[in-house]
Chains A and B, each alone.
Chain A
């Protein structure tokens, strides 16, 4: 049953400080609402837990794309359309542009924010795998002791999630900035989403990958299948959606592939080691969108596709 809108409070405090002050006053009483494309669906379904909302969508302090020589800084209210229209993001972080283009229809992308996608903490969301392989950091803000003072803390985005639909955000905190290094111009970028259909489908699983391939001698090789002068993986980062209760980096698979050979004679061994490591850290579930077996099998195939693509 749809909820009755008269039962909900919603205000739009005039400034970021005012929002933070209200969040701090009675932590847990108010929920921030940005583009509303998650919360309004929950409202329609009658499953909104709390009844008081603070709109943050009108705050210019949260909607910005700042480009510096070393990094791209995205305000939490950056919409998927803002991301798709930015040529520097398309050039430097193609996986983010691609993920943004998948997040529902154009009408949805015009409202939906990057901050909302991360804070909603769905294990199936589209932008987290890309941000995980790009090693993003997140800056969280809250009210300080002095009136109007804003305190912030910055942490690696890979440490943002605690469990299913749970993040490190305290009830008095807002996500303010997502920062991504501009360090991947010579890397290979890969992102594949498998859903029921192309348009507007939540993923069954998705894999993002970033790797640096080298032909020069490997420096710290202790793996038997590595031939020093042959083509090999110098660095690799892997992240996935819907393989666990939250978006995850695949650290064990990454470790297994560090300095792994891509030479034709060793490729099968590399793929075997990758699949074995992957099996230890993929823990998907059965749900309405897919089964655990399907998810594991498909994601492992995506991983193999990526690794094979590195041989040329």
Chain B
């Protein structure tokens, strides 16, 4: 067991965990943050995506492929922490409005991937949207409504 310190959604935590425990399981089991989902468990689907800052700025990562120890001293944002208060984040609002979520399993990852995309490209082209979301799989929506949600979110956040 190893003791690690990390900040999740602005809350500092000190935890004693097996160092190879997946960050995904640490979030869901030790911190009860079950908004981060598991689907493939091998980096292919993006359901477990979070934003991780290990010192060079927040980056989109798949938490199923990160050992807990590699998040020591890091700052994380999960879907629970995207909107600072009880209101929805504009990206969440646009997914709601444009029908970008159905069963919801892929949605937290889709929304964080969108957040990362809009940070890099506030006015993304169609190609940038497709590339930015290429690591996020959805079995329900057929993607068109997700792309529409992202276009709406880009317009909204540009305002």
Contact = CB atoms under 8 A, between A and B. Distances in A.
To the question of whether A and B form a pair in one complex, the answer is yes
Interface of A: 2, 5-6, 8-12, 33, 36-37, 40-41, 43-45, 53, 55, 57-58, 81, 104-108, 110-111, 198-200
A62 to B, nearest CB: 13
Interface string B103-128: 00000000001001100000000000
Given A10-B20, A12-B72, A53-B20, A110 B41 contact: no
21 contacts: A5-B67, A6-B18, A8-B19, A9-B20, A10-B2, A12-B72, A40-B66, A41-B43, A43-B20, A45-B42, A55-B69, A57-B70, A81-B59, A106-B116, A106-B135, A107-B113, A110-B59, A110-B60, A111-B62, A111-B65, A198-B134
B100 interface: no
Given A105-B135, A106-B60, 20 more contacts: A5-B21, A6-B18, A6-B20, A6-B21, A8-B18, A11-B19, A36-B65, A36-B67, A40-B67, A44-B41, A55-B70, A57-B70, A58-B72, A81-B59, A107-B43, A107-B60, A107-B135, A108-B62, A111-B59, A200-B135
B18 to A, nearest CB: 5
A33 B134 CA distance: 25
B69 A107 contact: no
B67 A33 contact: yes
Nearest to B1: A6
Contacts of A10: 2, 19-20, 67, 69
Contacts of A41: 42-43, 65
Contacts of A107: 43, 46, 49, 60-62, 113, 135
B41 A106 contact: no
Nearest to B66: A36
A53 B43 CA distance: 20
Contact of A37 (B25, B43, B134): B43
Contacts of B42: 41, 44-45
Contacts of A9: 19-20
Contacts of B72: 12, 58
A281 B20 CA distance: 42
Contact of A58 (B18, B70, B117): B70
Nearest to A41: B42
A55 B67 contact: yes
B22 interface: yes
Contact of A106 (B20, B21, B113): B113
A104 B64 CA distance: 15
B46 to A, nearest CB: 6
Contacts of B18: 5-6, 8
Interface in B12-48: 18-22, 25, 41-44, 46
Contacts of A33: 67
A144 B132 CA distance: 44
Contacts of B59: 81, 110-111
A40 B64 CA distance: 8
B69 A104 contact: no
Contacts of B61: 107, 110-111
B20 A2 contact: no
B156 interface: no
A40 B69 contact: no
Contacts of A198: 134
A58 B70 CA distance: 8
A44 B20 CA distance: 11
B19 A104 contact: no
Contacts of B49: 107
B54 interface: yes
Contacts of B25: 5
B106 to A, nearest CB: 13
B80 interface: no
A2 B64 CA distance: 12
